[in-house]
């Protein structure tokens, strides 16, 4: 199929682009490079062994987005583009709602005008909110405690309502747990814009010497070692989940399908610190710090639905996640080149 990937030069979008091409799909990337660098594209083309068409557009601009659909023909869309930093969203709610919802409105309007019916949406386990029991299941209620999380809850609702109005739509809501790791080549990986929020890029920056120590946010959680646990998922497994979901949209009769993409296994902060120290053979100094507001003790998936309906299972281990992250970070200490 010919697939539009919004945000295709981003962390998850870039890894998914490679797997879609490897699976025989033709890919077109739309990205405004607000949170990624154009240099990613050259890396992708080198790894894919083929040129990759891309458009630099503002997806919140309806005319621009419609022009893209008039110029190109798409069989499906994978919608990664969006702002995703929880803390930033609290400081800049209007920008988050405008960007994340606005791009989805533009995209859906253009899809409807041009008869594109398949959409894979990049959602997040954050939609389970702060009170959800574990392991989290797709039929749990959704809620949020920050504007970023609300944009995901709202986009899921918008997509469900659009599908209810046009039952020919085939929409996959993919709820990611904690994506980490990098392509095994070390040529692409997570390159956070500004100061990272997430644990794995911070661990990598400590290991490579860009930071002195990792602050452990809270050691008084009701978990075996007192630190919070998350369902870390290798980005390559996450990418293969998108290929599987896209295939299923060609078979399912359901207008909307929701799938957790996680391993189902929780890992604590201290366990991840140890795993990263072992994989990188570097000391990882830590400093105890207070809990981070909004953090929960446990978040991990029940991945049974994706396994049963997509035949998808995460296969890479925590060691793989750390080793692949380290290869990317040590080969690219400052991330992607600016030019
Ligand atoms: C993981 C654990 C921290 C940094 C976030 C978003 C979520 C999703 C994934 C987009 C937590 C601890 C972290 C540090 C630490 N993103 N930590 N010291 O918070 O589970 O989820 O990323 O969809 O929406 O909220 O991931 O990597 O920020 O934190 O101790 O310097 O590591 O407290 O327990 P989180 P994270």
Q: What is the pLDDT of residues 162-179, one digit of tens each?
A: 999 999 999 999 999 999
pLDDT of residue 141: 98
Q: Does some domain include residue 109? A: yes
Ligand 1 atom showing the smallest separation from residue 272 Cα: 32
pLDDT of residue 194: 86
Q: Does some domain include residue 196? A: no
Query: From atom 21 of ligand 1, which residue's Cα is the shortest distance away?
Result: 178
230 lines ligand 1 (CB under 6 A): yes
pLDDT of residue 339: 73
215 lines ligand 1 (CB under 6 A): yes
Ligand 1 atom showing the smallest separation from residue 152 Cα: 23
295, 297, 299, 322: residue to mutate for ligand 1 pocket, most atoms within 8 A of CB? 295
Q: Does some domain include residue 156? A: yes
100, 198, 298, 299: residue to mutate for ligand 1 pocket, most atoms within 8 A of CB? 198
Ligand 1 atom showing the smallest separation from residue 221 Cα: 34
pLDDT of residue 303: 98
Its domain, for residue 26, covers 2-181+232-263+301-310
Q: Does some domain include residue 317? A: no
- Find the CATH number of the domain harbouring 240: 3.40.50.720
Q: Does some domain include residue 138? A: yes
User: How far is CA 94 from its chain centroid?
Assistant: 22
Distance CA 79, CA 99 (A): 13
Q: Does some domain include residue 62? A: yes
User: Two tokens at 179?
Assistant: 């994506």
> Scanning the structure block, which residue is given the tokens 């607000």?
34
For residue 60, how far is its CA from the centre of ligand 1 (angstroms)?
28
pLDDT of residue 101: 98
Query: From atom 13 of ligand 1, which residue's Cα is the shortest distance away?
Result: 199
Ligand 1 atom showing the smallest separation from residue 291 Cα: 33
Q: Does some domain include residue 21? A: yes
User: How far is CA 3 from its chain centroid?
Assistant: 17
Specify the number of domains making up the chain.
1
Q: What is the pLDDT of residues 244-268, one digit of tens each?
A: 999 999 999 999 999 999 999 999 9
pLDDT of residue 130: 93
Distance CA 96, CA 90 (A): 9
pLDDT of residue 193: 87
Q: Which one, of 82, 94, 140, lies nearest residue 302 by Cα?
A: 140
Low-confidence ranges of the chain (pLDDT < 50): none
Q: Does some domain include residue 60? A: yes
For residue 69, how far is its CA from the centre of ligand 1 (angstroms)?
36
For residue 236, how far is its CA from the centre of ligand 1 (angstroms)?
19
pLDDT of residue 46: 98
For residue 5, how far is its CA from the centre of ligand 1 (angstroms)?
25
Active-site positions? 148
Q: How far is CA 196 from CA 6, 37, 43, 56, 202, in A?
A: 22, 16, 22, 25, 6
């Amino acid at each position: 199929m010919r697939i539009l990937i919004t945000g295709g030069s981003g962390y998850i979008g870039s890894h998914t682009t490679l797997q879609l091409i490897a699976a025989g799909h033709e890919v077109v990337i739309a990205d405004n490079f607000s949170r990624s660098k154009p240099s990613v594209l050259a890396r992708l083309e080198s790894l894919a062994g083929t040129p990759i068409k891309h458009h630099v557009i503002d997806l919140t601009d309806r005319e621009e987005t419609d022009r893209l659909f008039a110029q190109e023909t798409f069989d499906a869309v994978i919608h990664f583009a969006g702002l995703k930093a929880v803390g930033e969203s609290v400081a800049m709610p209007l920008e988050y709602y405008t960007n994340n919802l606005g791009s989805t409105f533009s995209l859906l309007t253009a899809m409807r005008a041009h008869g594109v019916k398949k959409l894979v949406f990049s959602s997040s386990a954050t939609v389970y909110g702060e009170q959800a029991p574990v392991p989290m299941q797709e039929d749990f209620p959704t809620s949020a405690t920050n504007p970023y999380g609300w944009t995901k809850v709202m986009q899921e609702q918008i997509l469900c309502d659009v599908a209810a109005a046009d039952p020919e739509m085939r929409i996959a809501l993919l709820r990611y747990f904690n994506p980490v790791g990098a392509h095994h080549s070390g040529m692409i990986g997570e390159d956070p814009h500004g100061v990272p929020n997430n644990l794995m890029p911070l661990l990598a920056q400590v290991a490579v010497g860009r930071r002195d120590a990792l602050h452990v946010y809270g050691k008084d959680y009701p978990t075996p070692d007192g630190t919070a646990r998350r369902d870390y998922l290798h980005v390559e497994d996450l990418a293969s989940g998108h290929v599987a979901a896209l295939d299923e949209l060609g078979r399912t009769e359901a207008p909307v399908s929701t799938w957790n993409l996680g391993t189902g296994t929780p890992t604590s902060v201290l366990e991840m610190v140890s795993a990263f120290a072992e994989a990188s053979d570097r000391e990882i100094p830590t400093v105890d710090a207070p809990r981070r507001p909004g953090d929960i003790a446990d978040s991990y998936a029940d991945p049974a639905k994706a396994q049963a309906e997509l035949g998808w299972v995460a296969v890479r281990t925590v060691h793989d996640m750390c080793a692949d992250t380290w290869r990317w970070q040590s080969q690219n200490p400052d991330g992607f080149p600016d030019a």
